[in-house]
């Protein structure tokens, strides 16, 4: 470590801007690592591990601190609290860091930050914890199931209640456990540019592990919520549509899980646009939309553009995909994705999905509405998203989705398709909004709906509903 900057100083700064100022952890970590690019790889890894690990286990860590401190976490100064948090994480989860180093560095950090009078307090709490780490008493599942899951897996208690209500106790626990597993890196081959076999060969030549993903099996193994929880939605499935769905699933043979790589940006094939990093669940949206050559498609909330370019590829250079989002920043992301993948039959435009576009009414063969949501399905990738959410926020997001659906359905032509999706697990945002839409818009029929859960080991938590506009 250089003399000019200490890794624990930077970790503390990350924790403060996330827990005190409301910044997202991945942005805070990225900002620090970009600012201090000269840091050695070991230091960068330590900063990332402690910052992300502390935030991922924040509820458990605060519970542990409250168990060993007479002054409770809610009454602590933010600087002292976060010094203790990072210390607890190192003591509990990092055997490679000596207890003495954890305690001594925490005390030094408190002094450097102007809290010399609290150095003894910091030292006492951490050394007491270090001596009694194996004797921590956690809440008993039999006495308070929701509290036990909340503390052990650092899931807000209200979220645990929500999962129990929507999916049952067994699924809630499975999701809580899985939320701490690392999310896989899934890529989709750009078959316009390279075959899946050739891409696999090229990646493996670089020492990258490449494993095919059986998307069809994943889809069929995940029971729809309607089947498993008594959803009363009317599903209008004809044999033709069933066979089409199965046929489209069978065609998804260009998806891989990759491991043993440094970072995506260092893989030449990514920069050449030969593959896209895209979760299985996201891939399913475009793949099952049923794109035909010369179709006109609109993706109303398209950033960063994965589904839009997938549709463009499925159109085999024909037709047109309009990828929209509401800000210049997001549209620039889409443009970068289109350029990197050399997509010619798609265009990115700034457009607010809540505003009716008169020029698009009744013209789209396919409309993809992958809408703003709570993001509970991606908490493995964005660990602190669970702390930014509120129950009230979920209600407002569900209302926003209804507003957008009530607008963008108008773009779907007769016999056209509306794909509604979210990256969350919440019946109010998902199944209940589909039910709301179908009750209000009788001209649409539901082909299928599918709730995927991230405890399947492959996909994110994701909801998809395919609806078709009836003739006439």
Instruction: List phi, psi (to 5°) of 257.
Output: -100, 130
CA atoms within 13 A on the CB side of 237: 13
Instruction: List phi, psi (to 5°) of 187.
Output: -125, 150
Over its length of 472 residues, how does the chain's per-residue pLDDT go in tens digits?
A: 444 568 999 999 999 999 999 898 989 999 999 999 889 989 999 999 999 999 999 999 999 999 999 999 999 999 999 999 999 999 999 988 999 999 999 999 999 999 999 999 999 999 999 999 989 999 999 999 999 999 999 999 999 999 999 999 999 999 999 999 999 999 999 999 999 999 999 999 999 999 999 999 888 876 444 333 434 443 444 344 467 888 899 999 999 999 999 889 999 999 999 999 999 999 999 999 999 999 999 999 999 999 999 999 999 999 999 999 999 999 999 999 999 999 999 999 999 999 999 999 999 999 999 999 999 999 999 888 999 999 999 999 999 999 999 999 999 999 999 999 999 999 999 999 999 999 999 999 999 999 999 999 899 999 999 999 997 6
Q: Give me the helix-helix angle, 78-93 and 119-131, nearest 10°.
A: 20
Domain spanning 7-135: which superfamily?
A: NusB-like (1.10.940.10)
Q: Supply the pTM of this predicted model.
A: 0.91
Tell me, what's the pLDDT at 263? 87
Question: 234 pairs with which residues across the strands?
Answer: none
Question: 216-249+280-469: what fold?
Answer: Rossmann fold (3.40.50)
End-to-end CA distance of the chain: 70
From the number of C-beta atoms within 10 Å of its C-beta (0-12, 13-18, 19+), residue 157 rates as middle
Tell me, what's the pLDDT at 244? 82
Tell me, what's the pLDDT at 229? 40
Q: Please give the C-alpha separations between residue 323 and each of 331, 353, 408, in angstroms, as whole numbers.
A: 8, 11, 13
Q: Please give the C-alpha separations between residue 355 and each of 202, 324, 358, in angstroms, as whole numbers.
A: 45, 12, 9
Max distance between CA atoms of the chain, in angstroms, equals 77
User: CA angle, corner 438, sides to 437 and 440, nearest 5?
Assistant: 65
The whole-angstrom separation of Cα 426 and Cα 158 is 12
Domains in the chain: boundaries? 7-135, 145-178, 216-249+280-469
**Collapsing DSSP states into helix, strand and coil, what is residue 254?**
coil
């Amino acid at each position: 470590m250089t003399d000019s900057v200490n890794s624990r100083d930077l970790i503390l700064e990350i924790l403060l801007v996330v827990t005190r100022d409301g910044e997202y952890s991945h942005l805070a970590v990225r900002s620090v690592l970009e600012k201090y690019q000269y840091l050695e790889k070991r230091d960068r890894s330590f900063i990332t591990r402690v910052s992300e690990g502390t935030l991922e286990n924040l509820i458990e860590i605060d519970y542990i601190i409250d168990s060993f401190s007479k002054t409770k976490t809610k009454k602590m100064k933010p600087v002292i609290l976060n010094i203790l948090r990072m210390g607890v994480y190192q003591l509990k989860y990092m055997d490679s860091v000596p207890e003495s180093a954890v305690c001594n560095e925490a005390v030094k950090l408190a002094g450097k930050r102007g809290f010399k009078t609290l150095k003894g307090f910091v030292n006492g709490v951490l050394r007491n914890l270090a001596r009694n780490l194996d004797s921590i008493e956690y809440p008993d599942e039999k006495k308070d199931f929701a509290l036990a899951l909340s503390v052990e897996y650092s899931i807000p208690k209200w979220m645990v209640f929500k999962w129990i209500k929507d999916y049952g106790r067994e699924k809630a626990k499975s999701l809580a456990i899985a939320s701490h597993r690392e999310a896989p890196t899934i890529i989709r081959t750009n078959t316009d540019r390279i075959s899946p076999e050739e891409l696999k060969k090229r990646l493996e030549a670089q020492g990258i592990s490449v494993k095919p993903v059986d998307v069809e099996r994943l889809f069929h193994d995940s029971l729809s919520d309607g089947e498993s929880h008594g959803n009363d939605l009317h599903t209008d499935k004809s044999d033709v549509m069933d066979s089409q769905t199965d046929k489209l699933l069978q065609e998804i043979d260009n998806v891989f899980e990759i491991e043993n790589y440094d970072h995506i940006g260092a893989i030449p094939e990514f920069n050449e646009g030969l593959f896209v990093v895209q979760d299985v669940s996201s891939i399913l949206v475009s793949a099952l939309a049923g794109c035909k050559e010369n179709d006109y498609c609109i993706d109303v909330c398209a950033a960063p553009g994965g589904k839009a370019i997938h549709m463009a590829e499925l159109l085999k250079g024909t037709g047109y995909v309009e990828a929209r989002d509401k800000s210049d920043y997001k549209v620039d992301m889409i443009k970068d994705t289109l350029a990197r993948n050399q997509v010619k039959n798609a265009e990115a435009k700034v457009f607010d999905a809540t505003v009716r576009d008169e020029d698009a009414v009744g013209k789209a063969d396919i409309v993809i509405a992958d809408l703003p949501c709570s993001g509970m399905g991606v908490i493995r990738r964005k660990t602190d998203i669970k702390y930014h959410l509120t129950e009230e926020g979920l209600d407002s997001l569900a209302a926003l989705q209804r507003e957008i659906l009530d607008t963008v359905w108008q773009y779907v032509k007769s016999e056209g398709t509306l794909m509604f999706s979210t990256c969350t697990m919440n019946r109010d945002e998902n199944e209940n909004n589909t039910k709301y839409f179908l009750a209000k818009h009788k001209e649409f029929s539901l082909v299928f709906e599918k709730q995927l859960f991230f405890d399947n080991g492959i996909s994110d938590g994701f909801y998809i509903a395919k609806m078709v506009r009836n003739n006439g």
